[in-house]
Chains A and B, each alone.
Chain A
Amino acid sequence: MTTGVSMTQSDASPSVPEPFRAPEPALEAPKGAPPAMPRQANIPLTDAAALEAKPILHIQELNLFYGEKQALHDINMEVGEHTVMALIGPSGCGKSTLLRCINRMNDLVANVRIDGRVLVGQDDVYAPGVDVIALRKRMGMVFQKSNPFPKSIYENVAYGLRIQGIKDRAVVDEAVERSLIASGLWDEVKDRLQDSGLGLSGGQQQRLCIARAMAVQPEVLLMDEPCSALDPLATSRIEELIFDLKRNYTIVIVTHNMQQAARVSDFTAFFWMGKLVEVGLTEKLFTNPRVRMTEDYISGRFG
Chain B
Amino acid sequence: MPSRFKDWWRRGNALIWFSGATLALSLLMIGGLVGYIAVKGLGFFWPSPLVQMQTGEGSILGEVTATEAAQGEDAAKVQFRVGNRDLFGQDYRWVPKAELKGESFPADAVLVERLEYGAFIGRIKSVEKEGQVLAQDAEALAAIRGLVPGAEQLRKKIKGIEKGEVGGLNAQIEDLRLEQRGLEAKAPGSPKLEALRQRAQALQERYDQAQVSLGALHAQAAALTVTLAAVDGQTKTIPLASIVRIVPANALGTFGKLSVYASRLWEFLWDDPRESNTEGGIFPAIFGTVMMVLLMSALVVPLGVMASLYMKEYAKQGWIIRILRIAVNNLAGVPSIVFGVFGLGFFVYTLGGSIDRLLFSDKLPAPTFGTGGILWASLTLALLTVPVVIVATEEALSSVPRSQREASLALGATRWQTIWNVVLPGALPGILTGLILAMARGAGEVAPLMLTGVVKLAPSMPLDGTFPFLHPERKFMHLGFHIYDVGFQSPNSEAAKPMVFMTALLLLLVVVILNLFALRLRSRLRARMGGGAF
- Chain A contacts of B531 at CB under 8 A? 198
Q: Decide yes or no whether A163 CB sits under 8 A from chain B.
A: yes
For residues 119 through 148 of chain A, which have their beta carbon under 8 Å from a beta carbon of chain B? 133-137, 139-141, 143, 145, 147-148
Determine the chain B residues whose CB is within 8 A of the CB of A139 once the complex forms. Answer: 410
Do residues A150 and B410 form an inter-chain contact, with CB atoms below 8 A? no
Q: Once bound together, how far apart are the Cα atoms of A150 and B232, in whole Å?
A: 77
CB proximity of B21 to chain A, nearest CB, Å: 40
B529 interface hit (Cβ, 8 Å): yes
- The interface on chain A, measured as residues whose beta carbon lies within 8 A of the other chain's beta carbons, has a size of 32
Q: A162-B421, A212-B411 are in contact. List 5 more A-B contacts (CB 8 A).
A: A140-B411, A148-B407, A159-B408, A196-B529, A196-B530
B410, A149: Cβ atoms under 8 Å? no
Q: How far is the CA of A133 from the CA of B417 in the complex (A)?
A: 11
**CA of A150 to CA of B531 in the docked complex: distance in angstroms?**
8
B412 pairs with A198, CB closer than 8 A: no
Q: Cβ of B408: which chain A residues have Cβ within 8 Å of it?
A: 149, 159, 163
Q: What is the distance, in angstroms, from B335's C-beta to the closest C-beta of chain A?
A: 40
- Shortest Cβ distance from residue B268 to the other chain A in the assembled complex, whole angstroms: 45
Q: Name the B residues within 8 Å of A198 (CB-CB).
A: 529-531
Is the C-beta of A253 less than 8 angstroms from some C-beta in chain B? no
Q: Which residue of B is nearest A199, CB measured?
A: B530
Say how far A108's CB is from chain B's closest CB, in angstroms.
7
Q: CB of B401 within 8 A of chain A?
A: yes
Q: Distance in Å from the Cβ of B194 to the closest Cβ of chain A?
A: 58
Cβ-defined partner of A164 (8 Å) among B412, B421, B528:
B412
How many angstroms between the C-alpha atoms of A158 and B529 in the bound complex?
16
Find chain A residues with CB under 8 A from B417 CB. Answer: 163
Question: For residue B530, which residue of chain A has the nearest CB?
Answer: A196
The answer for the CA separation of A74 and B455 in the assembled complex, in Å, is 75
In angstroms, Cα B412 to Cα A103, docked, is 10
Q: Considering the chains assembled together, what is the distance between the CA atoms of A212 and B407 in angstroms?
A: 9
The 7 tightest CB contacts between A and B, nearest first, are A196-B530, A137-B412, A150-B529, A198-B530, A141-B410, A147-B403, A136-B412
| Interface: A118 (CB within 8 A) | no
CB of B407 within 8 A of CB of A149, answer: yes
Q: How far is the CB of B396 from chain A (nearest CB, A)?
A: 13
Does B425 belong to the interface (CB within 8 Å)? yes
Chain A residues contacting B421 (CB-CB under 8 Å) are 149, 159, 162-163
Q: Can you name the residue of chain B whose Cβ is closest to the Cβ of A162? A: B421
Asked if A147 meets B406 with Cβ closer than 8 Å, knowing A163-B421, A198-B531, A199-B530, the reply is: yes
A213–B411 Cα distance when bound, in Å, is: 7
For B406, what are the chain A residues with a Cβ–Cβ distance below 8 Å? 105, 108, 141, 143, 147
Please determine whether B407 and A209 come into contact, CB atoms closer than 8 angstroms: yes
Question: How far, in Å, is B14 (CB) from chain A's closest CB?
Answer: 42
Evaluate whether A105 and B410 lie within 8 angstroms (CB atoms) in the complex, with A143-B403, A198-B530 already known: yes
Select which of A105, A108, A133, A143 is within 8 A of B414 by beta carbon.
A133
CB-nearest residue of chain B relative to A107? B409
B521 within 8 A of A: no
Interface centre among A140, A143, A150, A195 (most CB of B within 10 A): A150
B413 partner residues in chain A, CB cutoff 8 A? 133, 159, 163
B residues 381-409 touching A (CB-CB < 8 Å): 401, 403-404, 406-409
A108-B409 in contact (CB<8A): yes
Check: A94 CB closer than 8 A to any chain B CB. no
Instruction: Give, as a whole number of angstroms, the nearest-CB distance from B412 to chain A.
Output: 3
In Å, the complex CA distance between A160 and B532 comes to 22
Q: Is A172 in the interface zone, CB < 8 Å from B?
A: no
Does B373 belong to the interface (CB within 8 Å)? no
Chain B residues within 8 Å of A149, by CB: 404, 407-408, 421-422
Q: A143 CA to B530 CA in the complex, in Å?
A: 21
CA distance A94 to B530 in the complex (A): 35
